[in-house]
Amino acid sequence: MASSATPHGASPTGSLVSCAYNAKVTHYKIKNAFGTSIFYGDFVKFGDDNPNTTIQKDTGTTSATPIGVFLGCAYTDPTTKQFTTNNFFPASTAADDIVAYVASDPFLIMQMQSDEALTQDDLGKNVAIVQTAGSTAFGRSKNAVDGSTAATTNTLPLKIIDFVDGPDSAVGDSFTDVLVMFNVGHQLLNTTGIG
């Protein structure tokens, strides 16, 4: 994987808290006919969609305010009238019962691919996010870690906490696979409320 560019957004793999990781998700509403597609592995945030607070795609790059990682959704399809589950939320879907499945643990560990080679020296550094439109064929995010931003900058949204070492990935590969966590901005740890 890491010898070719195959960004896949953020894939939850664990948590920094001491209990066993159980892939817990939280259900949040998405606004009826929300105009932006959201893909499995995208970062999402609370948005004040007057009069209600709902989930939106977090499009931040050098800063972000995530509530977590989008893991799919469910809604009554406006065409077929059938209850539908989907890896991604198609933009402008008109339904009053849209629910997002979100991995909202502030201490979530996520696997992501970098858009360039990262070295052992980048361990512990903070990075920005490359935002790319997801795949409607697979419903997956194509977001990646912005390797060129790896630095000590305390305002960058993600922190590299490990490298993925395996048959398809190693430190220094052309598109290094890394484990990251939220560095700053997670909305559940922010003392300022929403809306």
State which of 103, 123, 156 marks the end of a domain. Answer: 103
Q: Which two tokens stand for residue 176?
A: 């290094």
> For 84-99, how does the pLDDT look when each residue is reduced to its tens digit (9 = 90+)?
999 999 999 999 999 9
Same domain (yes/no): 43, 61 = yes
Q: Last residue of some domain: 84, 103, 122?
A: 103
Q: Has residue 49 been placed in a domain?
A: yes
Residue 5 maps to a domain: no
Print the domain residue range for 29.
23-103
Averaged pLDDT, 157-175:
91
How does the average pLDDT of the chain come out, rounded? Answer: 92
Q: Each residue of 12-21: pLDDT tens digit? A: 999 988 666 6
pLDDT tens-place string over residues 26-82: 999 999 999 999 999 999 999 877 778 899 999 999 999 999 999 999 999 999 999
